[in-house]
Amino acid sequence: MIHKHRIKDKSPALDALIWFVMIFVLLACVLPFLYIIAMSFSSSRAILNNRVSLWPVEFNVEAYRQVFAYPNFFKAYGNTLIYTFFGTLISLCMMVLFAYPLSKNRLKGQSLVMKLVVFSMFFGGGLVPNYLLISSLKLTGTVFAIILPFAINQFNLIILINFIRSLPEELEEAARIDGLNYFGILIRIILPLLTAALATVGLYTAVFFWNDWFYALIYLKSYQYPVMLLLRNIVNGTTMVGEAGGVGEKAFVAIAIKSAVIITSTLPIILLYPFLQKYFVKGMLVGAIKG
Amino acid sequence: MKKLLSLFLAALLVLGLAPLSLAEEPIEISLYYSDNATLPFRQDWPVIQTLEKQYNVKLNFEPIPMGDYSTKAGLTLSTGENTPDVMLYLSTGGAYASYALNGAIVPISDYAEWTPHFNARVEEMGLQQDVDLNRLGDGKLYFLPSLFDLPFYDGGLILREDYLVKKGFEAPKTFDDLYNIMKAYKEDYPDSYPLTSIVALRVVQRMTMPSFGVSVGRNTGTGTGTLSWDYEKKEYFAGAISQQYKDYITFMAKLHAEGLLDPELEQDNASTAKKLATGAAMAVYGYYDQIGGWEQASEIEGFKLNMYPPLEGPGGAHHQPKSKTGSGLLFPIGVSKRPDFEQVVRKLDEVFYSEEATKLWCFGPEGDSYTMDGDKVVYNDAILSSADGIYKYMQNAYGTGCAGLQNVWYLERELTKYDDNYARINAEVAAMDNAIQYTVPVPSFDDVTAEDASLLQTTLLDAFNVWDDEFRTGKKSIENDWDAYVQDMKDKGIEQFLKLYNDNKKL
């Protein structure tokens, strides 16, 4: 009966509107991307004469050849993969270890630590003190300079804490009765149930490490730079201007190269989304609602 | 016998090693370099390889993206941590003056006897006064500037030469000539906006205002935004509220009102190229190097661009002012703690300022990139036949002519890398009456005055930019609102700002 009622309520006009909106959103997301892909495979002449729309004109891979020919391009790409993989791994380990005890209200000092976590979300030390800290820890010039300070992200930590709190307390009680200690409970009971949340937080963290260029710039040597810093430099080629003007304004990076750079830098991380999407949505919802 | 043999072998070993231990180890020097994405740095550039071998030095370059160079250099200088031995392509303008006066930078003028090659180049080029203008309030020089014997006319008005020929126009000499050419173009192509620019309006402003006797705006010749320099009286004047500026903005407003000036001047180079290549614009303020790319991009038959000397306006015919000294070598204080500090400075002086090295930075290794035919430089066939042009090809293939690395520039030598047309234009500009005026040195402010000046500068420049935009686009009337504008600038302290600069001027 209810089912019938719902079908009766379905309006073709509403359906059409939903379809229209969805198609509009889809096109708004996809078209710019297709346009950039088309430009990256087109000749500069065709681009500058407004002949390129959604399909490459005078197809060539010259832009990609030039991007790949940049000194250290592949080294930088390798660096990024390493930073993203190990950064995410370390970050997830540390956040889980931090989130689990903080999810227990009965733990002494939990409230104070939680306040400190939230405080640090809003107040930072600033660039110079942070730089001095990292430098005094002898981390500059090492990969740890860009991984350790960002291993715990407060926002992601809160998602994990909420997720763990949403799990039934009885599970842990049963495990304790069966003789598991806290680490055993975390590893054998909590972690397997955290998959969705870890996928969500992991994706956030991976995107952060993938996109980061600033901390690599200030803490690392040029041979350790991630690909984002390299690509940023290429894309900024035309906009670097000194106050007095001159050399920077003469610099000219072809639009096809810029397009190739955009594709090269975003494609790998975009390809990750479909695989993590189901966890991602679930993780977002569970993290947001306390069970 | 055995003993004798071992003694003999030991003696051989000692003698064999002796030359090795006597050979001087190359001195290692770390350098920050501002890396330009269009010319990515390569440690294996022949110029660098040759220099390292020739001067027995190991140059450990740290290429830092140009757009972020200042951030990284400033951070390491302000914290004093992880600084290299030398930072290239920097000067003591802006915040760097503060770093210098607070002891973060070596006062290199205290070690003048260690820089004999730099001193020799300065004397030979007659630039002592220009170099001295870079001294800070304590009378010391905190960086070794790059040196130019003559200012280059590397950018300016670039026009469609094919259109001039087709319509029978002479090359423009005055702004009225330019106006007439653009007016004709607009009539032929009503949808076009004949005059455009690279990057932003400020490029047009800095290249054209001097012909009206003023230089204000973001790229003002004085670095103040709203003040200009009176080259006769040798003092600052309030350029932003002067009659000269009023004449200038009246001309620009006329161009805008008649659709002769591109209304979208804030753009990247691809947009500029598009407008020129498709005929949506026919004149641009840009650089000679860019002409080739624009011509290649166009599908218009006979499309040809050329650069022209500065046009004459009410204030004469002038291009943007230029200095004969530029950014150069800055030594963070940490290097002075090295036991071989003197050797480091001497080596860098040799690598960047010795006569042989300056030739190398300009022409590349002799016998490889070029040979000498009497006094004439003859580049190799690969260079001469390159589609990129001599200059660009040599930059990429050899590492010559890179701003930040080459620190001594002789116009005559540089012109060998350009076509005859460029040499002709430069010769024409050099023959004009002071077409490229000198830039005014930054006054010797103390910290407090510098802060006051900086606050006033920001307020005034912000206000100026708003008024300038409204006057040009016709939102405000120059006739009716000029007095209100002048009063506004006075209320915001332009007279006080002027006094600060005139009280502390160096010339």
Going by pLDDT thresholds of 50, 70 and 90, the confidence category of residue B445 is confident
Q: Has residue B22 got a pLDDT over 60? A: no
A141: closest chain B residue by CA? B82
C-alpha span between B277 and B299 (Å, rounded): 7
The answer on A234 and A121 residing in a single domain is: yes
Hey, are the CB atoms on A140 and B82 less than 8 Å from each other? Answer: yes
Q: How far is CA A103 from CA A171, A175, B328, B476, in A?
A: 15, 17, 57, 62
| A169 interface with B at CB cutoff 8 Å | no
Task: Provide the token pair at B415.
Answer: 């012109």
Residue A224 DSSP label: G
Residues A218, A123, single domain; the answer is yes
Instruction: Tell me: do A34 and A156 sit in the same domain.
Output: no
Work out the pLDDT band at A243, boundaries 50, 70, 90: very low
With an 8 Å Cβ cutoff, is B454 touching chain A? no
Query: Once rounded to an integer, what is the mean pLDDT over residues B397-415?
Result: 93
Ramachandran angles phi, psi of B369, nearest 5°: -80, -25
The count of domains in chain A is 2
How far does the CA of residue B286 sit from the closest CA of chain A (Å)? 8
A240 vs B67, B78, B223: nearest CB: B67
Main-chain dihedrals φ then ψ at residue B86, nearest 5 degrees: -150, 145
What's the rounded Cα separation, in Å, for the pair B498 and A162? 61
Q: Is B274 touching A (CB cutoff 8 A)?
A: yes
| Mean pLDDT over the full length of chain B | 91
By the 10 Å C-beta count (0-12 exposed, 13-18 middle, 19+ buried), B55 is classed as middle
Residues A149 and A221 both lie in one domain:
yes
Largest CA distance in chain A: 76
A114 in any annotated domain = yes
Same domain, A25 and A169: no
| Mean of pLDDT values over A24-38 | 93
Nearest to residue A205, comparing CAs of A77, A91, A83? A91
B78 touches chain A (CB under 8 A): yes
Per-residue model confidence as pLDDT tens digits over B61-113: 999 988 889 899 999 999 999 999 999 999 887 778 888 988 999 999 999 99
Q: What is the CATH number of the domain that holds A122?
A: 1.10.3720.10
Q: Which of the two residues, B5 and B179, has the higher pLDDT score?
A: B179
Q: Are residues A77 and A109 in the same domain?
A: yes
Provide the β-strand partners of residue B371. B378
Contact yes or no for B282/B298 (Cβ under 8 A): no
Structure confidence at residue A268 as a pLDDT band (50, 70, 90) = confident
Domain boundary among A19, A38, A60: A60
B301 or A232: which carries more pLDDT confidence? B301
| Domain assignment of residue A178, yes or no | yes
B57 band by pLDDT with thresholds 50, 70 and 90: very high
Among the partner-chain residues A222, A241, A254, the one whose CB lies closest to the CB of B199 is: A241
CB-CB contact of A47 with B270 (8 Å): yes
Q: How far is CA A203 from the centre of its chain?
A: 6
| pLDDT band for position A165 (cuts 50, 70, 90) | very high
Task: Give the pLDDT score at B18.
Answer: 46
Give the β-pairing of B316-317 and B27-35: unpaired
- What is the structure's pLDDT at A246? 40
Q: Which two tokens stand for residue B39?
A: 């010319």
Q: Which residues contact B468 (CB under 8 A, 6 or more apart)?
A: B217, B249
**Under a CB-based contact definition with an 8 Å cutoff, are residues B193 and B257 in contact?**
no
**Cα distance between residue B31 and residue B61, in whole Å:** 5
- Under 8 Å between Cβ of B363 and B440: no
Q: What is the ipTM of this complex?
A: 0.80
pLDDT, position B482: 97
CA dist B212 → B216, B218, B225, B284, B489 (Å): 11, 17, 16, 18, 20
Tell whether A33 is covered by a domain.
yes
Residues A17 and A108 in one domain: no
Q: Do A168 and A52 share a structural domain? A: no
The answer as to whether A65 is a domain residue is no
Which of B72, B79, B155 lies nearest to residue A132, judging by beta carbons?
Answer: B79
Domain match, A20 and A56 both? yes
Q: Does a structural domain hold residue A229?
A: yes
pLDDT the model gives residue B325 = 92
Distance CA B454, CA B359 (A): 41
* pLDDT score for A1: 45
Amino acid identity of residue A197, one-letter, is: A
- Mean pLDDT is lowest, of A267-276, B160-169, B352-361, for A267-276
Q: Supply the pLDDT for residue B501.
A: 93
Determine contact: B280 vs chain A, CB below 8 A.
no
Rounded average pLDDT over A240-264: 61
Longest Cα–Cα distance of chain B, Å, equals 112
- For residue B366, CA distances in Å to B47, B355, B356, B380 come to 10, 14, 10, 10
Is the torsion defined by CA of B227, B228, B230, B235 positive or negative?
A: positive
- Whether A143 is covered by a domain: the verdict is yes
Q: Are A51 and A76 contained in the same domain? A: no
How high does pLDDT run on average in chain A?
85
Local confidence band at A251 (pLDDT 50, 70, 90 cut-offs): very low
Q: Tell me if A141 sits within 8 A of A220, measured CB to CB.
A: yes
CA distance A41 to chain B (A): 16
Q: B5-31 burial, b if ≥16 CB within 10 A, otherwise e?
A: eeeeeeeeeeeeeeeeeeeeeebebbb
| CB contacts, 8 Å: A248 with chain B | 36, 66
Q: How much is the pLDDT for B50?
A: 97
pLDDT at B354: 97
Question: Within 10 A of B122 (CB to CB), how many other CB atoms are there?
Answer: 22
Both A56 and A80 in one domain: the answer is no
Residues of B with Cβ-Cβ distance to A48 under 8 angstroms: 270, 273-274, 277-278, 297-298
* pTM for the predicted model, two decimal places: 0.81
Mean pLDDT value across residues B152-159 = 93
Task: Using the structure block, give the residue that is written with the tokens 């630039």.
Answer: B127
Please report the number of interchain residue pairs, chain A to chain B, with beta-carbon separation below 8 angstroms.
Answer: 125
Token reading at A47: 């681009």
In this predicted model, which residue has the larger pLDDT, B2 or B206? B206
| DSSP, res B15 | H
pLDDT confidence of A249, banded at 50, 70, 90? very low
Q: What pLDDT is attached to residue A240?
A: 40
Secondary structure of B363-419 in HEC code, one letter for each residue:
HCCECCCEEEECCEEEECHHHHCCCCCHHHHHHHHHCCCCECCECEECHHHHHCCCC
Nearest-angstrom CA–CA distance, B376 and A264: 46
Mean pLDDT of B38-57: 94
Q: Are residues A236 and A278 in the same domain?
A: yes
Distance of CA B163 to the CA centre of its chain: 31
pLDDT score of B497: 95
- The DSSP bridge pattern shows strands B86-90 and B27-35 to be parallel
- pLDDT band (50, 70, 90) for residue B5: low
Q: Does position B186 have pLDDT exceeding 90, yes or no?
A: yes
Q: Which residue of B has its CA nearest to A218?
A: B72
Let me know if residue A87 belongs to a domain. Answer: yes
- In terms of Cβ atoms closer than 10 Å to its own Cβ (0-12, 13-18, 19+), residue B252 is buried
Of A250, A201, A256, A196, give the one whose Cα is nearest residue A59: A256
Section A144-148 average pLDDT? 95
pLDDT of res. A196 = 87
d(CA B37, CA B32): 15
Q: Measure the CA–CA gap between B292 and B308, rounded to whole angstroms.
A: 15
Using the 3D structure, point to which of A32, A60, A88 is the last residue of a domain. Answer: A60
Mean pLDDT of B437-457: 83
CB B181 within 8 A of CB B317: no
Using a CB–CB cutoff of 8 Å, tell me whether A291 touches chain B.
Answer: no
Helix pair A73-102, A110-122: axis angle to 10 deg: 140
User: Residue A235: closest CA among chain B residues belongs to which residue?
Assistant: B37
What is the per-residue DSSP string for A184-199? HIIIIIIHHHTHHHHH
Nearest chain B alpha carbon to A230: B65
| Dist. CA A257–CA A63, nearest whole Å | 5
State pLDDT tens for residues B278-293: 999 999 999 887 888 8
Last residue of a domain, one of A12, A36, A60: A60
What percent of chain B is predicted at pLDDT more than 90?
A: 71
Categorize the per-residue pLDDT at A283 as very low, low, confident or very high, splitting at 50, 70 and 90: low
Q: Give the H or E element holding residue B313.
A: strand B312-313
Asked if the structure places residue A266 within a domain, the reply is yes
Task: Find the CB nearest A50 among B79, B274, B296.
Answer: B274
Residue A32 lies in domain: 2-60
User: Does residue A244 surpass a pLDDT of 50?
Assistant: no
Residues A180 and A189 sit within 8 Å (Cβ to Cβ):
yes
Question: What are the CA-CA distances from residue B167 to residues B163, B170, B185, B258, B405 (Å)?
Answer: 6, 9, 9, 20, 45
Distance from C-alpha of B215 to C-alpha of B320, rounded to nearest angstrom: 8
- pLDDT band at B416; cut points 50, 70, 90: very high
pLDDT of residue B10: 58
Answer yes or no: are the C-beta atoms of A272 and B61 closer than 8 Å: no
**A238 and chain B: CB distance < 8 Å anywhere?**
yes
CA distance A211 to A195: 24
